[in-house]
Structure 1
Amino acid sequence: MNYFKRLEEIISENLNSRGMDKAYLAGEIENAAKELIKSDTIIIVTGFVIKDTLTGETDGPLGAISVASALEKLGKSVVIITDIYSKSMLEAALKLVGLKAPLEIFIKGEEDILSQSILSTYKPDCLLAVERPGEASNGNIYSMRGECLSDIIPSMDCLFREAGRLGLTTIGIGDGGNEIGMGKIKQYVIENIPNGDIIAASFVTDYLIVAGVSNWGGHALASALSMFSQEDLLYNVETEIQALEAIVNAGAVDGLTKERTLTVDGISLENNIRIFEMIKSTIEESLALDKGAS
């Protein structure tokens, strides 16, 4: 059984809702996890603002925290970066899960200075973007609805561009075509996604995980790390629910409905938990098989 392929299949649910169902990239979860295993320090960026509420959405932070938790269990150093709109929810989630990762805040107008400072201070091996909006070809950042967000949020593309110049590994996780890393399938986004010609992100990460919900992509990556390390690194379902509650209490909204509910991209808590449990059971089955073989 190819458990990495199973993870890809699990997180492909919901891709058809945005026209992303044929944007299939085989092997990216496995290859991204291999790079993280080799890395000592990883920077994770996340946070997607909803313009009508000026708060971050529920998709992104949980996936970022999931990967960060798995990496810390492996003894890796992790740094999380977001903006003012998702600051309080990341603080709440970090505290709930008990992570050591410092939280850095990107500020609009200071992107270049912060990029240089952060890379110089932490000296990462790898950068991971989880549901972080990316610049389109015209330099602007857009929501999936085609709303320009550049007037209110800092761009983190400069951080990834500098990382690429330094030869660092970059990984992207997204679900709509407008996130950092989606430049890897830019033409597909332009041709198949509503508003794709406007919103398509340009930066090409070394590895790109396309998921029906970006949080699921983060959980799948944590699961792939589990398979390589022969240890279940994905936190339990109770923690997932508590983390979602924590970020909603801190102001997070559903990116589709724009409401403060325990939903992600319009998908119910029950369906999100169903996917989480499928990912979790894939780890357990893989580890049980390996134990039996030994």
Structure 2
Amino acid sequence: MMDIFESLIALVASNRSGRGPARLCSPSVMSSALEVLTRARRVAVVTGFFVPSAGFPETDGPGGSAALARAVDLSGREASLWTDERCFSVVASASRAIDGVVPRAASEGSDILSWKPDLIVYLERLGRAADGGYYNMRGQDVSSMVVSLDDAVLTKREEVDVIGIGDGGNEAGMGNLRRELGKLMPSFSRFLSVVESDAPLPVDVSDWGGYALAGALSLSCGEWCGVDPDEVASMVEAEVAAGAVDGVTLKGEPSVDGFPLEIQRSVAAGVRDIVESQLLSPVP
């Protein structure tokens, strides 16, 4: 089984972005995230990263979250997909493109908790730093534009498991890795999130972590429940049509964190190949 996680990490957490956090990923890290996910029965997926300078959300987050929420649903579990009002149209466009879970808008963490999840997955969702502020990867304070949905963890942490998927260390759920990330990214250390999770999953692009977990969830139900390359392309294109911008280039183009659509498609195809090889040849 660990061979699968090694292959998935080589695909989605090889430090291709050069940021550093993905260097902390390992087969055991991804295995732990999948273990937390598979034992859950009621999963809330939370995403949405608004870019103030562009006036729209970024393309990273909605696709991976829509894919993961749909996979949870297809695997026989209950799923909900959450974001805030500013990011709602983009998240809805991504999920609609794959006939996924209809998203819900939250104005605070208690809205998510009222759904009574036993697991919250934060995917590319900002988490507060040590000073209580929220910062983007440029170290800019964007607190005025952030709806604090990470407070769902802080107010009722003991009753809900949490997975955090991120690529920069400033996302909710990455707090467990703060010390190691501070060494890898010393100039960014004060902007790192302090919000912890049961299973932080650092990857190259947050969407890719969502695609990997959605695909790996297929192992628990015996059939593919992840996303295909064409679906990924449809989601990204739908996001851009709804106004989303690439978080790195700040342009309204069909790319994610500076990686073009062809790379997004190849990652989705790679996840499916890796997982289906296991489904077709299960370990006795």
TM-score bracket relative to the smaller structure: over 0.9
Instruction: Name the % identity.
Output: 31
The SS at the match of 1:243 is: helix
Q: Does 1:170 align with 2:162?
A: yes
One-letter amino acid matched to 2:234 = Q
One-letter amino acid matched to 1:49 = F
d(CA) in 2 for partners of 1:32, 1:235? 18
Q: Give the number of equivalent residue pairs.
A: 283
d(CA) in 2 for partners of 1:28, 1:140? 27
d(CA) in 1 for partners of 2:111, 2:91? 21
One-letter amino acid matched to 1:130 = L
d(CA) in 1 for partners of 2:215, 2:79? 17
Give TM-score, length-normalised by structure 1. 0.91
d(CA) in 1 for partners of 2:86, 2:189? 27
One-letter amino acid matched to 2:52 = K
**Aligned equivalent of 2:142, options 140, 149, 154:** 149
Give TM-score, length-normalised by structure 2. 0.94
Q: For the Cα contact (< 8 Å) 2:33–2:199, is it kept in 1?
A: yes
- Give the drift of 1:117: 4.1
- Residues 158-192 of structure 1: per-residue CA shift (max 9 Å, x gap): 11222413x21100000011001111110122222
- Residues 100-139 of structure 1: per-residue CA shift (max 9 Å, x gap): x3422233xxx3xxx334313x111100000001100000
Residue ranges of structure 2 left out of the alignment (5+ in a row)? none
Q: For the Cα contact (< 8 Å) 2:49–2:124, is it kept in 1?
A: yes
- Give the drift of 1:16: 5.4
d(CA) in 2 for partners of 1:228, 1:81? 24
What is the match of residue 4 of structure 1?
5
d(CA) in 1 for partners of 2:153, 2:16? 25
- Give the drift of 1:142: 0.1
What is the match of residue 129 of structure 1?
122
What is the match of residue 57 of structure 1?
58
Q: Does 1:81 align with 2:74?
A: no
d(CA) in 1 for partners of 2:37, 2:183? 32
What is the match of residue 116 of structure 1?
110
One-letter amino acid matched to 1:70 = A
What is the match of residue 103 of structure 1?
103
Query: Structure 1 stretch 4-13 or stretch 150-159: which is displaced more?
Result: 4-13
Once the two structures are superposed, the pairs formed by residues 224-243 of structure 1 within 5 Å of their partners are: 224-243=216-235
d(CA) in 2 for partners of 1:127, 1:97? 21
d(CA) in 1 for partners of 2:186, 2:248? 15
CA separation of 1:17 and 1:136: change in aligned 2, threshold 3 A: same
What is the match of residue 285 of structure 1?
277
d(CA) in 2 for partners of 1:235, 1:139? 36
d(CA) in 2 for partners of 1:22, 1:75? 33
d(CA) in 2 for partners of 1:260, 1:155? 26
d(CA) in 1 for partners of 2:154, 2:10? 30
The SS at the match of 1:151 is: helix
- Residues 48-104 of structure 1: per-residue CA shift (max 9 Å, x gap): 1112112111111111011111111112221111122211111112222222x3422
Structure 1: which 4+ aligned runs deviate by more than 4 Å?
Answer: none
d(CA) in 1 for partners of 2:197, 2:162? 5
One-letter amino acid matched to 2:135 = Y
One-letter amino acid matched to 1:65 = A
The SS at the match of 1:58 is: coil
